[in-house]
Structure 1
Amino acid sequence: MTVDRVVCIHGHFYQPSRENPWLGGVEVQRSAAPYHDWNERVTTECYRPNTAARILDADGMIEEIVNTYSRISFTAAPTLLSWLERHCPGVYGAIVEADRESRERYAGHGSAIACCYNHIIMPLAARRDKQTQVAWGVRDFAARFGREPEGMWLPETAVDLESLDLMAEAGIRFTVLAPHQAAKVRQSGAEAWTDVSGGGVDTTMPYLCPLPSGRSIAIFFYNGIIARDVAFGDLLSDGRRFAGRLLGAFSRGRERPELVHIATDGETYGHHREFGEMALAYCLKTIEKRRDVRLTVYGEYLDTHPPTHEAAVCERTSWSCTHGVGRWQGECGCHSGAHPGWSQEWRGPFREAVVMVRDALAPRVAEALGVLVRDPAEARDDAVSLVLGRWSDEAVADFLARHALRDLSPDDRRRILALLEMERQTMLMQTSCGWFFDDIMEPGSVQVMRHAGRAMELARQTLGLDLEPAFTAILRRAAVNDPRYATGAAVYEALARPTAVDLPRIGAGAALYCLFGLEPPAAASGMYAVRGDWRYRSGAGIWRRILGTVRVRSRATGEEALFDAVAFFAGMDRVVSGVREPGGDEAFRAAWEGVTGPDPAGAVSGAFSRVYMAPDLSDEERWAIAREIAPGMGEAVCKVYRDAAALIDALDDLGIPAPGAAVHLLAHACTGRLLAMLGEGCPDPDRFFTLAETMKARNLAPDLAALGKAAGGRITLSARMAAARSCDPAPLEEIVRTVRCAKVFPLTLTLWESQNICIGMRGRYSGMRERAGRGDGDAERWADAFERAAACLGVRVA
């Protein structure tokens, strides 16, 4: 008889809500540079690489790529997946497809498990919030993966019986906890319990946890020692050693099935540990090659190995706080390690302020909803359909048809939407990241404040309830470690409140974005419908003007308004936009005369009731505008060079040292010529080499970042063309030329997509090589070109 020995690796992939609560989009985050924000950065470093993790051969060539999501167990966190769906659909699609693929591999059981909606610490939440977190997590999962979830991740694995019971009631079969969260165990049917507190639980089997309601839920307690070495040690430096540690954890001579499993942050594989996804892929492949051990996911294992033992949990414990859940409500001593001398006393008042808002709003919202919908709790739990539908007219109409007590007036519809948005913001303001780090001025805490600010604003507008004075009064007791701020209230005033926007501000911003042909973030997020009628527009380059009307409607709350809107731009320090009540054709003509006159800023200030100048621009607006106009700077420099080229040549011919500015102009112009050649696929490499050598001889410094980006982009384009043209070797030959030219400089090339395409074409190569062996000259040329291109990309062809 062969004893069943299986391995499961779980990755908790998660990012918190980073969206501006008023706009629905993630704004630029300077700390994530050179990326726009941390979601984008971690996607580049982790989420995308795990969809095609590389396995290298002994020569360092890519032998195979693996979508690790299809082989491991992973958390599908809604706040992350919703962002990926909008901003990185290719990564999102690969993750969803991986779950489908895993169902074929694991007897119908998918690799993805659900997560409580926005990472609330469940033991610290009110019952109604716990219920909604579970309901929204289940609904979001089903909408994305086309099936009901079998398992659910508890944020920070923070556990209590009430949360487990609500999960079981929702149909959840299992969850995953740390070993120290087991209190006692016993064999099913036995009376006596064995104390396993302190991490003494046998992690190689699932346990059934009896719940007060009479329901039960299965619990997998992961191997904490190996998980710790993966997350904080150097185990990911070698995929073979990683596999060896997992395989070495099986008992010798034990006559029962065993499951060796670990759980870590998914971001460990690539973000926290560079190339960690490659170690993971190699580990998975190593285990798959074994005959005595196999990979599994929790749902499959639970089906084939039902629990034979029961377990009781240590309530109000978590995986990242040795003091239970103290990290999210007081100074327990847990911190990131970045600032060992800092105090976390701020956590207590911060938790108190958030709970005050939560508890003050809950009964008032339920009462207000009670006169408009059949069942406020059901409506609340179903409101995730509005979020999934991005508050479209169809989603709103369907929701109201299900829940409204009667035919609703427009004001009633807006009131229901505002109340439900208030509820959503009160849940988002409890996200665990607000308390996890070392100071209340860090981004996670500020984000929680922003959600609280939006909830309190909606409470003022909808319920006539002003909680902000009490909120800031409590935050004054939260001491800040950063000397720039005295208390948490100062942080709120400086970093959270200024991010609030209203409809006039969105209208003025829409004019500014449309001035550059950009979609306003409020509209791109789906939270607002923004429709402009721009009657007057002039200018290009630096001097730009626009005037028209704009209608702004919040899809999330139903609030809407119509404005006359204007924007003028003459440089990053000369920006003005404004809105006013609609004034008619005569007022339009007068406003346009002023905007096109000698003092546009003064004209706007005199004619518009709400005016915004350069200092009022958000970082996101400045980033969007700067990115749009930056390419024009290069052309301007090239024009200066063209005008001065004859003089520079004369100075060079006469042996007169050129001014430093002239040298920079020449370097920029030469870089521009190199970029143009790369953009064409380097049809004449000798021209590229000659110019490059000239630059080296004259000590002209090229823009290596721009050249690397251009070369990588052209290689990717060539690879796409090669995939689309089944028998044409020209795009493959272009890859070879471009890579040869790029090697003249120490360029950093992004080859990820082109390598993936190349690997996907290996089947075609086999067919072409076979045809070439039968005397097909065209096939031989293509196969030879493919071999050379693959070698340039670091891909093994067979």
Structure 2
Amino acid sequence: MDRAICIHGHFYQPPRENPWLGEVEVQRSAAPYHDWNERVAAECYAPNTAARILDAEGVIVEVVNTYSRISFTAAPTLLSWLEQHRPGVYEAIIDADLESRERYAGHGSAIASCYNHLIMPLATREDKRTQIAWGVRDFAARFGREPEGMWLPETAVDIESLDLMAEAGIRFTILAPHQAGKVRAIGADGWTDVSGGRVETRMPYLCRLPSGRSIAIFFYNGAIARDVAFGDLLSDGRRFAGRLLGAFSRGGKRLELVHVATDGETYGHHRKFGEMALAYCLRAIEAQDDARLTVYGEFLAAHPPTHEVVIQERTSWSCTHGVERWRRECGCHSGAHPGWSQAWREPLREAVDMVRDTLAPRSAEALERLVHDPEKARDDAVDLVIGRWSDEAVETFLSRHAPRDLAPDERRRILALLEMGRQAMLMQTSCGWFFDDLTEPGSIQVMRHAGRAMELVRQTLGLDLEPAFIEILDRAPVNDPGYATGAAVYEALVRPAARDLARVGARSALYELFGLEPPAMYAVEGDWRYRLEDDSRRGRAGTVRVRSRVTGEEALYDLIALFAGMDRVLLGVREPGGDEVLRAAWEEVTGSGTIPGVFARVYTSPDLSDEERWATARQVLPGIGEAASAVYRDAAALIRVAEDLGIPAPGAVIRLMEHACNERLCAMLEEGCADPDRFGVLAGEMRAKNLRPDLAALGEAASRRIALSIGEAADRPADPAPLEEAVRIARCAKVFSLPLSLWESQNAAIGMLRHYGEMQRRAGEGDRNAERWAEAFRRAAACLGVRVT
């Protein structure tokens, strides 16, 4: 085959975890989702595991796991989050790489990424090494193979980074066309200048490195990539395929590769339904006789470079000024605020570099006294991250690197030094400089990582870098009029995110009231000796051990918690004082609603973080609905009398009636809508009284129950009842034209198509139950918009 096509998606999300807690806290701008990871996962990462191809009637005829057919970046910070929070999506991505190896002659579709997306030309050699080593190790742990290629964050490139990648066994990377400087045929003398994006992109190039090693480079088609990312090419999958197929040389005889690279989030997040256009494009290309899909590893193995290239160092794909976007006011910005200054970038870079350059040699010197080989220990520290600092992961690491049995303080010191280095890399993540103001989430995040790194430096090495850091930030101008300088931003938005063990203990006491899990980076063992549960209050008191899994730091606290409403929260923390003191405090709290002065730290409702408010509010809100329903039930007789007498109902009564009716409708849906006629009668009564249905809540309830019913149908393959239930719920949903979320239900139904064929066969042989099942499946599939053939 002389013509091949490769589509690369750079799927990535920055680290968003609070550095002190190891969890992503609620982000209001991502509403209605908890945070941006959740939102992008729902809009992009999940849909690409089962992208729909529809027929002319809008019915699903095929689903495609696009990850198995394209080339994609496996970014560690994203995959780590998916593994914890969307394991089904994570497994589908891992499986896609396995499937792609069968399709592409043993070469997987996934390529590695530098660990946390820092700009490599601006990093130290040591950090470059670690970024590559951690990226390779993380990839191998997830995909069960060594990576062939590696993505450079923002495609920011320099020779040293390429050489270190080649040393780590990386065979190729991907760059933008304007990053090529000059090329020549291997063995030729003269070079051809191809700067300005004039490089021939339909072939790989060999880049020779100072060490004598080399690496292959693919320069993607810039024009098509721009139209995918910023144009309307994803409005029509057929046109997308046509554009790729039309990019081959006319009448050319030589082998060619047409390939594009964009942010993977383009397919579904930046461009709604972009994953569907991608799926249709892939199918259209696969239907061709004179072109085929490939991935870079397969193409390179079959067709080694015939030409070599000299790259333009310190360039990137998203800054026309090289890498200046990540250290100076170069003029590149998001476009959202065209009049804003980015003069804050240089002080932020200076402050971060100051922390990095100060802690690195001191940390290395301290680590050298505790481990066999500090460099190897630093490389292997990624195993702690992958293992989420489990006791087993920590013991394995220390047994490998410690030269002797360590005292507890020495163990903690090693872990703290390694975490210091990790935070120092995270504070260099590219998103900190990419956007338009120092107050934006990416910049706040890198400053928080810097804050955590400086805290560990202070605790472990006795060196306080924060005053100098703040002094540099004080020179950073801010576009947001609410802050004078970067120093004010740090004080307002970074410092409050810090959590010490006592504050984590207070949070664990609050979470204990609602059965919630403590932050994953901490082990919490509680002896909750006093408990209170009544109609209006919840309380706990006990002695709790809090241990950081990451650094080994631990402490014992007496904790007390009382919740009497979102505006009446009391949390008390003190060093253990014995059961008598704790009992006396408990009696005072439950009696007077105040925490005695023996508790050194007391937190009330205004002290709660947004995440704590969000987590507890979610637990409390259902109770508010139940209370409103109880009020309606108490007043129902009076409301009926008023209706009979023609007395207009006050607005508050109307809202109560709406709530009560919506609660009843939701209950019917959640119970499987055994009597659709009763649902219809109540809906009719609401219309007659001009009561508004809560379409969002009803749609969510219907969607959940349909998913449950289809899931039960998959688990009980001979029972038609769950399928019939799904049809009933769908019928009820049509009464109000409810907005339904059917993605998971559709996937499950598609997975049952093979079983449907078997049941059809059995029905044809006279099996009455199989006939009933097949009929129920056809009706359910029709409700879900799934084609049955």
What TM-score bracket applies, with the shorter chain setting the length?
over 0.9
Aligned partners of 1:767 and 1:399: how far apart in 2? 52
Matched, 1:766 2:760: no
Q: Which residue pairs with 2:551 in the alignment?
A: 557
When normalised by structure 2's length, the TM-score is: 0.99
Aligned partners of 1:54 and 1:564: how far apart in 2? 54
Are the equivalent residues in 2 in contact too, given 1:114–1:153 (CA < 8 A)? yes
Matched, 1:339 2:337: yes
SS of equivalent residue, structure 2 residue 276: helix
Are the equivalent residues in 2 in contact too, given 1:541–1:632 (CA < 8 A)? no
Aligned partners of 1:214 and 1:236: how far apart in 2? 42
| Unmatched 5+ stretches in structure 2 | none
Deviation at 1:763, TM superposition (A): 1.1
**1:592-671 to 2 correspondence within 5 Å?**
592-597=586-591, 599-601=592-594, 604-671=595-662
- List per-residue Cα deviations over 1:670-716 (Å, max 9, x = no partner): 11111111011111111001110110111001211110000000100
Q: Which residue pairs with 1:297 in the alignment?
A: 295
- List per-residue Cα deviations over 1:534-575 (Å, max 9, x = no partner): 000011453111100110111111110000000011111111
SS of equivalent residue, structure 1 residue 606: coil
Aligned partners of 2:629 and 2:213: how far apart in 1? 73
Q: Which residue pairs with 2:669 in the alignment?
A: 678
Are the equivalent residues in 2 in contact too, given 1:541–1:629 (CA < 8 A)? no
Deviation at 1:776, TM superposition (A): 2.4
Q: Which residue pairs with 1:43 in the alignment?
A: 41
Q: Which residue pairs with 1:17 in the alignment?
A: 15
1:792 aligned to 773, 783, 786, which one? 783
Q: Which residue pairs with 1:28 in the alignment?
A: 26
Query: For residues 272 and 605 of structure 1, do their structure 2 counterparts lie closer, same or farther at Cα, with a shift above 3 Å needed?
Result: farther
**1:682-721 to 2 correspondence within 5 Å?**
682-721=673-712
- Farther off after superposition, 762-771 or 673-682: 762-771
Aligned partners of 1:357 and 1:415: how far apart in 2? 19
Q: Which residue pairs with 1:247 in the alignment?
A: 245
Aligned partners of 1:581 and 1:672: how far apart in 2? 47
SS of equivalent residue, structure 1 residue 220: strand
SS of equivalent residue, structure 1 residue 208: strand
Q: Which residue pairs with 1:390 in the alignment?
A: 388
Q: Which residue pairs with 1:168 in the alignment?
A: 166
SS of equivalent residue, structure 1 residue 138: helix
- List per-residue Cα deviations over 1:615-656 (Å, max 9, x = no partner): 110000000000001000111001000100000000001111
> Counterpart of 2:285 in structure 1: which amino acid?
I
Aligned partners of 1:573 and 1:507: how far apart in 2? 20
Deviation at 1:777, TM superposition (A): 2.2
Q: Which residue pairs with 1:535 in the alignment?
A: 529
> Counterpart of 2:182 in structure 1: which amino acid?
K
Are the equivalent residues in 2 in contact too, given 1:350–1:478 (CA < 8 A)? yes
Aligned partners of 1:605 and 1:261: how far apart in 2? 68
Are the equivalent residues in 1 in contact too, given 2:585–2:596 (CA < 8 A)? no
**1:193-208 to 2 correspondence within 5 Å?**
193-208=191-206
- List per-residue Cα deviations over 1:44-98 (Å, max 9, x = no partner): 0000000000000111100000000000000000000000000010000000000
> Counterpart of 1:640 in structure 2: which amino acid?
V
Aligned partners of 1:304 and 1:334: how far apart in 2? 39
Deviation at 1:321, TM superposition (A): 0.3
Are the equivalent residues in 2 in contact too, given 1:152–1:172 (CA < 8 A)? yes
Aligned partners of 1:222 and 1:384: how far apart in 2? 31
Matched, 1:576 2:570: yes
Q: Which residue pairs with 2:583 in the alignment?
A: 589
1:457 aligned to 435, 455, 458, which one? 455
Aligned partners of 2:596 and 2:95: how far apart in 1? 54
SS of equivalent residue, structure 2 residue 463: coil
When normalised by structure 1's length, the TM-score is: 0.98
Aligned partners of 1:52 and 1:540: how far apart in 2? 47
Deviation at 1:450, TM superposition (A): 0.2
> Counterpart of 2:593 in structure 1: which amino acid?
P
Matched, 1:733 2:724: yes
> Counterpart of 1:151 in structure 2: which amino acid?
G
Deviation at 1:775, TM superposition (A): 2.6
SS of equivalent residue, structure 1 residue 607: coil
Aligned partners of 1:173 and 1:14: how far apart in 2? 21
SS of equivalent residue, structure 1 residue 11: strand
- List per-residue Cα deviations over 1:579-604 (Å, max 9, x = no partner): 1111112112211111111x222xx1
> Counterpart of 1:443 in structure 2: which amino acid?
P
> Counterpart of 1:656 in structure 2: which amino acid?
I
> Counterpart of 1:241 in structure 2: which amino acid?
R
Deviation at 1:774, TM superposition (A): 2.7
SS of equivalent residue, structure 1 residue 743: helix
> Counterpart of 2:204 in structure 1: which amino acid?
P
Deviation at 1:660, TM superposition (A): 1.3
> Counterpart of 2:200 in structure 1: which amino acid?
D
> Counterpart of 2:427 in structure 1: which amino acid?
M
Aligned partners of 1:634 and 1:691: how far apart in 2? 19
**1:18-417 to 2 correspondence within 5 Å?**
18-417=16-415
Are the equivalent residues in 2 in contact too, given 1:637–1:665 (CA < 8 A)? yes
Are the equivalent residues in 2 in contact too, given 1:605–1:611 (CA < 8 A)? no
Aligned partners of 1:399 and 1:20: how far apart in 2? 24
Aligned partners of 2:24 and 2:250: how far apart in 1? 51
Query: For residues 635 and 788 of structure 1, do their structure 2 counterparts lie closer, same or farther at Cα, with a shift above 3 Å needed?
Result: same
| Unmatched 5+ stretches in structure 1 | none
Aligned partners of 1:589 and 1:769: how far apart in 2? 69
- Farther off after superposition, 69-78 or 569-578: 569-578
SS of equivalent residue, structure 2 residue 735: coil
Aligned partners of 1:784 and 1:769: how far apart in 2? 9
2:742 aligned to 735, 743, 751, which one? 751
> Counterpart of 1:483 in structure 2: which amino acid?
P
> Counterpart of 1:684 in structure 2: which amino acid?
D
Aligned partners of 1:760 and 1:137: how far apart in 2? 34
Deviation at 1:406, TM superposition (A): 2.4
Deviation at 1:772, TM superposition (A): 2.1
Are the equivalent residues in 1 in contact too, given 2:17–2:23 (CA < 8 A)? yes
SS of equivalent residue, structure 1 residue 550: strand
SS of equivalent residue, structure 1 residue 657: coil
- List per-residue Cα deviations over 1:123-162 (Å, max 9, x = no partner): 0000000000000000000000000000000000000000
Deviation at 1:605, TM superposition (A): 4.2
- Farther off after superposition, 88-97 or 535-544: 535-544
1:504 aligned to 492, 502, 505, which one? 502
Aligned partners of 1:300 and 1:276: how far apart in 2? 26
Q: Which residue pairs with 2:538 in the alignment?
A: 544
Aligned partners of 2:757 and 2:390: how far apart in 1? 49
2:490 aligned to 488, 492, 495, which one? 492
Deviation at 1:458, TM superposition (A): 0.4
Are the equivalent residues in 1 in contact too, given 2:588–2:596 (CA < 8 A)? no
- List per-residue Cα deviations over 1:96-116 (Å, max 9, x = no partner): 000001001101000000000
SS of equivalent residue, structure 2 residue 173: strand
Aligned partners of 2:582 and 2:531: how far apart in 1? 12
Query: For residues 80 and 541 of structure 1, do their structure 2 counterparts lie closer, same or farther at Cα, with a shift above 3 Å needed?
Result: farther
Q: Which residue pairs with 2:769 in the alignment?
A: 778
Aligned partners of 1:346 and 1:509: how far apart in 2? 34
Q: CA RMSD in A?
A: 0.8
Are the equivalent residues in 1 in contact too, given 2:2–2:253 (CA < 8 A)? no
Aligned partners of 1:645 and 1:143: how far apart in 2? 61
Aligned partners of 1:373 and 1:189: how far apart in 2? 47
Aligned partners of 1:545 and 1:767: how far apart in 2? 56
SS of equivalent residue, structure 2 residue 58: coil
> Counterpart of 2:293 in structure 1: which amino acid?
L
Aligned partners of 2:356 and 2:579: how far apart in 1? 48
